[in-house]
Each structure stands twice: as C-alpha cells, then as structure tokens.
A = this chain, B = another copy of it.
C-alpha cells in the first residue's frame, strides 16, 4: 500500500482508536508489573461472559491473550458492541474509578487469558503512584475524544459509511503485532459485525456484499480482508 495513503488512513482513524498500536497500554511498566504480580490468571472460553452490565465492578483485567468484546444491551434486546479489546490492553478500570456499576458487558470473543486484579489492590497502587494517575488521565482523555468522534459518526452517518469506517478500525484491532496493517484478518461473525456497526444483520450482509462486488474487500467465511483501503477510506468520510 502507498505509504502516503497509509499515513492518511492512520491519522484519520487514530481519532477512533484508544491506542496508537493495538494492544498498547499506556500504563507505566513498573506499575503494570506490580499490578500483575498480585493479580491472578483467569482463563475464559470463547463466548463466555467476563462481567455483566449492572454488576458492581470487582476489579480490573489485563488481557494477555485473545480478544474481548464490550457490549451494551438495549431496552428492546438489541446488542451494541462498543469496543473490542485485544491482547495487551487493560479494561474494567473505568467503572471502578467512576464509582459506577458496570455500564457494559464483557465477553470473550476467543479463548482468553486474563490477569484479574482486585479492585482494592488496584486503588491502592493508584493512590501510591502519581505516574499511574497521570498515565490514566492521559489515556482516558484521549479515549474521550474517540468516543465523541464515534457519537458523531453514529448520529450522522449511514451504514455504508459506518461499515467502511469500522472495517478500517477492525483492521487495526485484528492486526498481527509487528506485521503491516494490510495483513489483517478480520474475523468476526455477521451478528457481531452488525452489532458493532449498529445495524441489522441483513443490512450488514447486503452492504458487505456490495463492498465485495466492488472489490473493496475479500471474504472467506467469517474472515474479511480489506483489498482497497483507499475506497473504504473515501466512503468512511474521514
């Protein structure tokens, strides 16, 4: 892929990504090690729930292996997928810091390994470390920006545009660390992809088909490969 195009895409979608690199946590190494030391390893099978909307949060999670989807249930039963975390990322800390109940449900997309750190211990480490506070403030501020951008997208753009954008985002999420962006295999079933894009499965399938027929993507079963980044970038309206 053209390096200029790559940069344009990168800088466009960076406003929608929590981290510049997938799996990056901005937590200082020292505190990360300290937290993980007192955490315990949990293995979670594909499709298994990690925590559920409405629960009081029990602790924070470092995802070591696998992918986790964060979703929210609508009053009419529809599911909205909000993020997909990949190995290396920390999650579950925000509801603890904000004294909220879990606003969302976390479910393993693949077989996962997590390190679970008790709420109380996390708070202790946080209180004793200005570096950790600062790092969290910084990452949450950036996350705030990405969420605001996303609200705009959902409020204003059609499904074609949203799918194009989310495919580019997923391309980062499913990037194999160290490899080039264009090597990603987006593996997500239609239901989840629809729930992520915020549409019905049927509509998603139709839009995806159109992308396929135009040569923007290639599909092999559940796996989607992006073939024409520029087209998707243009459609997404970034």
What copy number does this chain have within its complex?
Answer: 2
Q: Does A99 contact B (CB under 8 A)?
A: yes
Complexed CA–CA distance, A76 and B155 (Å):
13
**Closest residue to A71 on the B side, CB-wise?**
B152
Q: Which residues of B contact A94 (CB under 8 A)?
A: 141, 144-145
Decide: B99 and A142 in contact? CB cutoff 8 A.
yes
| With contact pairs A151-B154, A156-B74 given, residues A136 and B137 touching in the complex (Cβ less than 8 Å) | yes
Contact of A138 among B82, B98, B143, B149 (CB under 8 A): B98
Contact with B along A95-117 (1 / 0, CB 8 A): 11111100110000000000000
Q: Does A184 contact B (CB under 8 A)?
A: no
Decide: B145 and A147 in contact? CB cutoff 8 A.
no
Decide: B74 and A152 in contact? CB cutoff 8 A.
yes
Query: Interface on chain A toward B: helix, strand, loop, or mixed SS?
Result: helix
Nearest CB of chain B from residue A23's CB, rounded to whole Å: 19
Complexed CA–CA distance, A55 and B80 (Å):
32
Decide: B140 and A137 in contact? CB cutoff 8 A.
yes
Decide: A148 and B82 in contact? CB cutoff 8 A.
yes
Nearest CB of chain B from residue A119's CB, rounded to whole Å: 13
**Closest residue to A140 on the B side, CB-wise?**
B140
Q: Does A198 contact B (CB under 8 A)?
A: yes
Q: Which residues of B contact A80 (CB under 8 A)?
A: 151-152, 155-156
Complexed CA–CA distance, A114 and B152 (Å):
26
Q: Which residues of B contact A238 (CB under 8 A)?
A: 75
30 pairs, CB–CB < 8 Å, chain A vs chain B: A15-B103, A72-B149, A74-B152, A74-B156, A74-B157, A74-B237, A78-B156, A80-B151, A80-B155, A94-B144, A94-B145, A97-B138, A97-B140, A97-B141, A98-B143, A98-B144, A99-B142, A100-B141, A104-B148, A127-B130, A130-B133, A133-B137, A137-B137, A137-B140, A140-B141, A143-B144, A144-B147, A150-B151, A151-B154, A156-B198
